[in-house]
């Protein structure tokens, strides 16, 4: 196809100059589709299969082997000729040697790749990366709180702005495709990727994920501007609820819950957000490996939603169909199963045998050429939408705001609004300016723990090398309260060259001795950084060393302020009662220490709210939207007088402030409604305290009686407001009647006649659905 390369580039630039060919966000751009028709008609099968393949950059790096490269990193021209010249590969991903690179290295590397691709086929490569809480793999990038912290802000605008900045700085790295946001609902506290989710609620995940997609992609999905990129929503779907609680292990989900809860965030991100690509779940749902599930990939996504984007595998998951799941007898059979299920691009990431294997399947008629052409069309469409044919690489100088103070200010605001005050006995917080403080615990003096995984490296173990200019909790408290007033003695430390859960022999008595002469103890506990399967655990309770440290410090009689810095809620029921205050920081990013110091001093009023239910006991894991039978009040009568009440440490949506908010005058504009109606729900919120504060107003609904046992409550809306002391604001929600529907046992959306209770703060109102409706289409 070399002879067509110049023609393709000229045609692309010609059509791009014609502004009349631009269409709206919904639907396809005819000009793009015409160009794709022309290209596909002249492509060889080798070129088509190459477009469907994706390999990691270390495969084409100098030195080492396929798994690592020599430093300083450079592209190996011989391997590049193999990957691009021989196999016509259409996509590269990841960073070399599992470490962040400068924008200059990214520019040089990707320019080299693109020049070779254009010379070979005239088709640019699409480069993909995991930019999870900022541009993960670029030195100097702005890092935000991880998704769980962004969810805790309940602030749509902050989330949108964070996504825009991440898109800008990822584009500054010459990368136009981001494997984010994570849309998995974090409904199991044991899961090692809990912190990559927006928490346990369907609506919160749907809203935040869709906002991030829009923030990444801008307003026109057919022509993504240079400062935006393509989102890849992941991991479709049910990935976050494995039965074992361990990463990449099977899930069992009812048909109604699969559609109502786990599918809904993905549906919303595609239909409302316009997501350009989707990554498939690495696990198994109800016995079916998701990467081979035609029903979920092709029928639910491509057909029912008319999704016109790219479906990509996760890392090496086609191989997993036969090496791990054993549903295929060999690699060839696994490739066949995945492609025929609807996979468009395979993230291999090392095995170049994928290309000749798929060609052989086509030659044998096991994979149709129509399936191949559909996949290639989707890949080319994504490249056109990103403008890669016109501009396959660019200069870092076009992005002068990379890592700017303006961007960092947004990240610091996000960290501050994410931090959640869970306990504050006798208003011990905020602390006085002259407070003498002991800072202790394994998370007190670590940038690695503040950021978590996906930070400068996969597991976050290289963070200290790249983040020295930022402040740990200890350093931030020194800056805030004065060096002379702040002591540091960790008592417990992590084994930084070991697994995330390993700790060094404790020195608890040193910390106890250091508590003499101070007024307060700020105890920073939680987890070291981890990501994915290496983050699996067998025990959710906080480590024994950290628990013993807390108990010993509490015996000193000094007020202990418990600071949690963790990716998932580790159980603290043994040490919470003896702590006068509890502050959840989640994984707040590079500005977490500064934001926490501002909150402890009172320069910022905390406003975060829990995006999940904080469990109290290992056998008491539950979500707020549980069934009535999981929370029986009292006991049954008779011989079998059992109860099923579940205790939690803190409920979903919980979070304290240094002020108080009063809710009053809740009203609805109609008490009877149908699925076609919109019910206006209003409430007055007053700052009844003495300091300015922000409040996330959460609207809940309860279906009082239904043909399937209903969830006890569901989040239906949220709005964050700021109020000065004595100020009152009216908050109004437009609640669609159809949004109160549930999915019945046949997998159909249903709303039934009967009463619903709405709740805002301590205010409630009842409304009544007057007409039952069952939707026969997959979506409402």
Q: Which residues are catalytic?
A: 314
Q: How far, CA to CA in Å, does 62 sit from each of 65, 120, 339?
A: 8, 21, 32
Helices (H), 386-504: 405-418, 447-451, 463-466, 473-481
Torsion angle defined by CA atoms of residues 677, 160, 208 and 177, in that order, rounded to the nearest 10 degrees: 120
H or E element that contains 337: helix 331-341
**What is the length of the chain?**
780
**Degrees, nearest 5: CA angle 483-484-488:** 70
Instruction: Give the tokens for residue 506.
Output: 């404790």
Q: Are 690 and 725 in contact (CB under 8 A)?
A: yes
Q: Are 458 and 98 in contact (CB under 8 A)?
A: yes
Cα–Cα distance, 589 to 597 (Å, whole number):
14
Contacts of residue 282, defined as CB under 8 A and 6 or more positions apart, other chains included, come to 235, 239, 248, 290, 291, 314, 315, 317, 320
Cα–Cα distance, 261 to 590 (Å, whole number):
33
Instruction: Give the tokens for residue 77.
Output: 């021209």
Cα–Cα distance, 32 to 219 (Å, whole number):
17
- Among 697, 682, 679, 696, CA closest to 740: 679
Instruction: Give the tokens for residue 206.
Output: 């749907």
β-pairing, 486-488 vs 437-440, is parallel
**Degrees, nearest 5: CA angle 344-49-392:** 80
- Among 664, 757, 611, CA closest to 195: 611
H or E element that contains 759: strand 754-760
Cα–Cα distance, 719 to 154 (Å, whole number):
7
Q: How far, CA to CA in Å, does 583 sit from each of 65, 521, 560, 656?
A: 46, 13, 11, 10
Cα–Cα distance, 421 to 609 (Å, whole number):
8
Helices (H), 43-135: 45-51, 77-80, 103-121
Q: Are 531 and 192 in contact (CB under 8 A)?
A: yes
Cα–Cα distance, 389 to 381 (Å, whole number):
10
The residues facing 390 across adjacent strands are none
- Among 379, 387, 294, CA closest to 53: 379
Contacts of residue 733, defined as CB under 8 A and 6 or more positions apart, other chains included, come to 680, 681, 682, 699, 716, 717, 719
Cα–Cα distance, 132 to 144 (Å, whole number):
9
The residues facing 182 across adjacent strands are 234
């Amino acid at each position: 196809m070399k002879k067509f390369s110049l023609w393709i580039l000229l045609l692309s630039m010609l059509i791009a100059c014609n502004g009349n060919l631009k269409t709206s966000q919904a639907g396809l751009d005819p000009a793009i589709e015409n160009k794709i028709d022309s290209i596909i008609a002249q492509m060889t099968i080798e070129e088509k299969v190459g477009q469907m393949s994706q390999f990691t950059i270390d495969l084409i790096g100098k030195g080492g082997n396929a798994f690592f490269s020599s430093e300083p990193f450079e592209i190996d021209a011989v391997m590049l000729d193999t990957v691009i010249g021989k196999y016509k590969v259409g996509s590269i991903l990841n960073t070399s040697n599992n470490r962040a690179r400068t924008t200059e290295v990214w520019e040089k590397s990707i320019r080299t790749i693109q020049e070779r691709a254009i010379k070979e086929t005239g088709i640019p490569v699409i480069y993909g990366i995991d930019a999870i809480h900022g541009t993960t793999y670029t030195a100097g990038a702005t890092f935000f709180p991880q998704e769980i912290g962004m969810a805790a802000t309940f602030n749509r605008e902050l989330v949108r702005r964070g996504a825009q900045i991440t898109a800008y700085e990822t584009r500054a790295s010459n990368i136009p495709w981001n494997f984010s946001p994570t849309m998995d609902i974090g409904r199991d506290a044991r899961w090692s990727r809990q912190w990559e989710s927006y928490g346990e609620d369907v609506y919160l995940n749907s809203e935040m994920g869709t906002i991030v997609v829009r923030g990444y992609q801008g307003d026109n999905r057919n022509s993504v501007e240079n400062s935006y990129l393509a989102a890849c929503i992941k991991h479709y779907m049910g990935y976050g609820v494995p039965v074992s609680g361990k990463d990449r292990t099977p899930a069992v989900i009812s048909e109604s819950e699969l559609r109502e809860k786990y599918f809904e965030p993905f549906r919303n991100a595609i239909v409302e957000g316009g997501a350009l690509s989707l990554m498939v779940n690495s696990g198994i749902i109800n016995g079916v490996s998701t990467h081979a599930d035609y029903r979920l990939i092709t029928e639910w996504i491509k057909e029912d939603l008319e999704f016109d984007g790219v479906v990509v595998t996760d890392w090496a998951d086609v191989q997993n169909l036969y090496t791990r799941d054993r549903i295929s007898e060999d690699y060839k059979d696994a490739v066949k199963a995945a492609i025929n299920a609807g996979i468009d691009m395979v993230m291999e990431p090392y095995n170049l045998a994928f290309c000749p294997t798929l060609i052989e399947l086509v030659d044998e008629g096991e994979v149709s050429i129509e399936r191949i052409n559909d996949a290639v069309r989707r890949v080319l469409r994504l490249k056109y939408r990103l403008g890669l044919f016109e501009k396959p690489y660019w200069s870092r100088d076009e992005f002068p705001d990379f890592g700017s103070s303006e961007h960092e200010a947004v990240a610091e605001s996000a960290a501050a609004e994410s931090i959640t005050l869970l306990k504050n006995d006798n208003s011990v917080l905020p602390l006085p300016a002259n407070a003498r403080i002991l800072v202790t615990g394994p998370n007190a003096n670590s940038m690695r723990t503040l950021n978590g995984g996906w930070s400068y490296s996969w597991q976050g173990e290289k963070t200290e090398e790249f983040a020295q200019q930022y402040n740990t909790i200890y350093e931030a408290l020194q800056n805030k309260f004065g060096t002379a007033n702040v002591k540091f003695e960790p008592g417990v430390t992590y084994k930084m060259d070991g697994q995330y859960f390993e700790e060094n022999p404790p020195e608890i008595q040193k910390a106890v001795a250091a508590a003499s002469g101070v007024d307060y103890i700020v105890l920073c506990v939680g987890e070291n950084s981890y990501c994915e399967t290496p983050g699996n655990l067998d025990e959710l309770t906080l480590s024994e060393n950290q628990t013993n440290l807390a108990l010993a410090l509490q015996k000193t009689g000094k007020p202990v302020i418990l600071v949690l810095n963790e990716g998932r809620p580790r159980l603290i029921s043994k040490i919470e009662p003896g702590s006068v205050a509890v502050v959840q920081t989640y994984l707040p990013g590079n500005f977490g220490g500064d934001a926490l110091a501002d909150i402890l001093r009172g320069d910022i009023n905390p406003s975060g709210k829990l995006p999940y239910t904080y469990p109290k006991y290992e056998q008491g894991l539950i979500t707020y939207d549980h069934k009535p039978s999981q929370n029986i009040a009292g006991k049954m009568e008779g011989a079998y007088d059992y109860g099923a009440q579940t205790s939690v440490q803190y409920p979903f949506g919980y979070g304290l402030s240094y002020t108080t908010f009063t809710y009053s005058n809740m009203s609805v504009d109609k008490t009877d409604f149908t699925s076609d109606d919109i019910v206006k729900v209003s409430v007055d919120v007053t700052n009844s305290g003495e300091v300015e504060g922000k409040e996330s107003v959460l609207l809940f609904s309860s279906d009082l009686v239904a043909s399937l046992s209903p969830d006890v409550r569901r989040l239906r809306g949220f709005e964050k407001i700021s109020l000065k002391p004595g100020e009152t604001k009216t908050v109004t929600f437009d609640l669609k009647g159809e949004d109160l529907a549930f999915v019945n046992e046949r997998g159909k959306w249903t709303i039934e006649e009967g009463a619903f209770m709405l709740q805002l703060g301590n205010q409630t109102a009842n409304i009544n659905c007057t007409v039952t409706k069952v939707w026969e289409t997959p979506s409402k």
